[in-house]
Amino acid sequence: MNSPEPVRAELATFLALVVFMLISLGLGFVANWVGRSRTGFLKSYFLGNRSLGAFAVALTAAVMSGGTFMGFPSLVYKYGWVVGLWICSYMVVPVTVLGVLGKRIGQLARRTGAITLPDFFRERFESPMLGLITSVLVLFFLTTNLVAQFKAGGVILKLTLPQSIQRAVGAEAPAGSGADRMAAISKAESDGEPPKPAATAAAKSNNFSDRAYVLGLVFFAVTVIIYTTYGGFLAAIWTDVFQSLVMAVGVMILFPLAYLAAGGIGEGTAAGIAQTRDPSFAFGPGATRAFHPIGLAVSFFVMWAISAMGQPSTLVRLMAFRDTRTLRWSIIYLTLYNLVIYIPLIFIFICARKVLPNLTVSDEVMPRMVMTLANPYIAGLILAAPFGAVMSTVSGWLLIISSGLVRDIYQRFLRPQASEKEIERASYAGTVFVGVFVGILALNPPELLQLIVVFSSSGMAASFLAPAAYGAFWRRANGLGMIAAMVTGAGVTLALYAVGMVWSADGYDSGIGAGGKFAPVYLLGLDPCVWGISLSFLAGAVVSLMTNPPREALVQRMFEKDRPLHLHS
């Protein structure tokens, strides 16, 4: 079987993505104009005046990101049908994410006046230290995850840059460069010859020397930083909704194209078995290694269905919805939307094994499939799906990080008397600073972006889910208990990853999961998220019971008889 031909980007495909970026920029400017309201800059810029409707809540809680359209397809292509177990829990995410905590988080946010997640925890538990720890952990984990998102955006634009543009900046790969080495490795693998280690290392060298990637990364970073900085929360929401609709259209177009090109899902499965030389590609636990045994299947059900409730992006959205009727309808909308997105994605990238055999860089499978199967104009529309997922994720997370820097550090500790105009300027500067900083980090990201997504998602869930759940439903929970929960959850997750990375550097491989240098210790076959979340809940309960209870006045204010959420305050 021959190695895949290099993708030849067309100007029309690139221009279609440029139009998509311009529309996003336009939405950012309109959002800035609309968001100037009577409620003041902070609530408008970071929380959209708590005015989200059902459709906006559903599509912005859909947790689509670069992992959805780049990392997840990469794993399907690499390991086969077993990755369906990875994502099946997304079918219950609407109930867990919006149904369990949604109403109570919305109520508590209004009662505390919280605008950011550190605000929320600080006021709910009357603990400035808890707010500060929240700020630090949000900054760390979200910045890590943003590196993966920036990489995804850079890769998409790299593959769509026309050859004329690449030549103009000296980005076109010369003979004997990384592109040729990749092709040689793919051919060697398809012929059953293991590539030489030196060649493999050279081909997978850092992205900084790849000028096409750097140029694509710069285009992406400039666009998303501008519209997020200027438009704030409403820009992120409006572009989320627009981009989510484009994602659904892109997936529905790509599925029949992939199915017909492969000759059916069965042909794609057979091709995967032949290329990996492993029948487990068809049923599990993962081609060529025990990628997804029962322990990890359970772990990732917890990861997406349960831990999604503890993501800062989720909790901020729950602080911004309009009323309870909005929340109920958003659960229905999100359930239908996830069905439309995730099930076809599995089929598409099983078929990809037939259409694009033996890809060495599996993170590129989505854009390569699109550009191989569709005409240039349609390819641009379809590629707007992964590109939109990345942009919508980045815009929302940039604001969360920026709000932590400005609201929870600058205003609270450095300039408590700062005027609204000063806060406005600081917010703009903070968003730009974070975007540029992450863009620099993304010049040389890890190989599999989905591994970064899993790490940061695990860490955030282990840090924030227990304090959010206890804060919503347990009267006895106190600040010291929640500090213990947060530190324990984050510490356990980081420790298991740190030990795993040290062991892998010495050549240890547990034989499960994706492996590589960024692999954690799967204690008893379970992902670190299970241990982090479990021990976080335990530590929070034990320390809360061993220390003084919260003030009765605080408990009464937080747990007084529920009132309908019909106000926008």
Both tokens assigned to 542: 């034990």
Is the confidence at residue 280, as pLDDT, over 80? Answer: yes
For residue 179, what pLDDT is reported?
38
Q: Regarding predicted confidence, which is higher, 214 or 180?
A: 214
CA distance 245 to 467: 33
Pick from 445, 413, 456, 408: which is nearest to 430 by CA? 408
CA distance 385 to 327: 25
**Mean pLDDT, rounded, of the chain:** 76
User: Which H, E and C letters describe 244-286, residue by residue?
Assistant: HHHHHHHHHHHHHHHHHHHCCHHHHHHHHHHHHCCHHHHCCCC
Range 11-163+210-447 has CATH code 1.20.1730.10 = yes
Contact present, 242 and 23 (Cβ < 8 Å):
yes
CA distance 439 to 454: 20
Angle between the N-to-C axes of helices 376-405 and 211-262, in degrees from 0 to 180, rounded to the nearest 10: 130
Is the confidence at residue 442, as pLDDT, over 50? Answer: yes
Q: How far is CA 460 from CA 144, 309, 500, 518, in A?
A: 11, 10, 19, 17
Contact present, 74 and 81 (Cβ < 8 Å):
no
For residue 550, what pLDDT is reported?
93
Q: Which residues pair with 512 in a beta bridge?
A: 290
Contact present, 250 and 385 (Cβ < 8 Å):
yes
Band (pLDDT 50/70/90 cuts) for residue 246 is confident
For residue 53, what pLDDT is reported?
53
Band (pLDDT 50/70/90 cuts) for residue 269 is very high
Is the confidence at residue 354, as pLDDT, over 90? Answer: yes
Contact present, 179 and 207 (Cβ < 8 Å):
no
Contact present, 457 and 65 (Cβ < 8 Å):
no
Both tokens assigned to 37: 């309201």
Report CA dihedral (158, 281, 451, 229) to the nearest 10 degrees.
Answer: 40
For residue 207, what pLDDT is reported?
47
Q: How far is CA 126 from CA 43, 46, 100, 350, 491, in A?
A: 21, 22, 24, 51, 23
Is the confidence at residue 362, as pLDDT, over 70? Answer: yes
Band (pLDDT 50/70/90 cuts) for residue 201 is very low
List, for residues 20-65, the tens digit of each pLDDT value: 777 766 766 676 566 555 455 455 444 444 445 555 555 554 455 6
Angle at 123 between CA 109 and CA 228, to 5 degrees: 55
CA distance 338 to 461: 21
Question: How many CB atoms sit inside 10 A of residue 501's CB?
Answer: 15
Is the confidence at residue 9, as pLDDT, over 90? Answer: no
Of 44-58, 292-306, 309-323, 492-506, the poorest mean pLDDT is in: 44-58
Contact present, 481 and 541 (Cβ < 8 Å):
yes
Contact present, 410 and 431 (Cβ < 8 Å):
no
DSSP 457-472: HHHHHHHHHHHHHHHH
For residue 530, what pLDDT is reported?
92
Could you identify the residue written with the tokens 């009132």?
563
**Is cis: bond before 528, omega within 30 of 0?**
no
Q: How far is CA 364 from CA 141, 144, 220, 306, 546, in A?
A: 24, 20, 16, 29, 52
How many residues are present in the chain? 569
Q: What is the mean pLDDT of residues 114-140?
A: 87
Q: Is the dihedral of CA 113, 116, 121, 127 positive or negative?
A: negative
Buried b (16+ CB within 10 A) or exposed e, 435-471: beebbeebbebbebbbbbbbbbbbbbbbbbbbbbbbb
Of 135-139, 194-198, 293-297, 374-378, the poorest mean pLDDT is in: 194-198
Contact present, 259 and 347 (Cβ < 8 Å):
yes
Pick the most confident of 14-23, 204-213, 382-391: 14-23
Could you give the 3-state DSSP secondary structure of residue 169? coil
Both tokens assigned to 368: 């390569």
Both tokens assigned to 262: 């492969």
CA distance 103 to 318: 8
Q: What is the mean pLDDT of residues 345-363?
A: 89
Q: What is the mean pLDDT of residues 192-202?
A: 42
CA distance 27 to 433: 22
For residue 206, what pLDDT is reported?
45
For residue 47, what pLDDT is reported?
47
Band (pLDDT 50/70/90 cuts) for residue 135 is confident
CA distance 521 to 89: 23
Report the number of secondary-structure helices (H) and strands (E) in the chain.
25, 0
CA distance 563 to 111: 11
For residue 198, what pLDDT is reported?
40
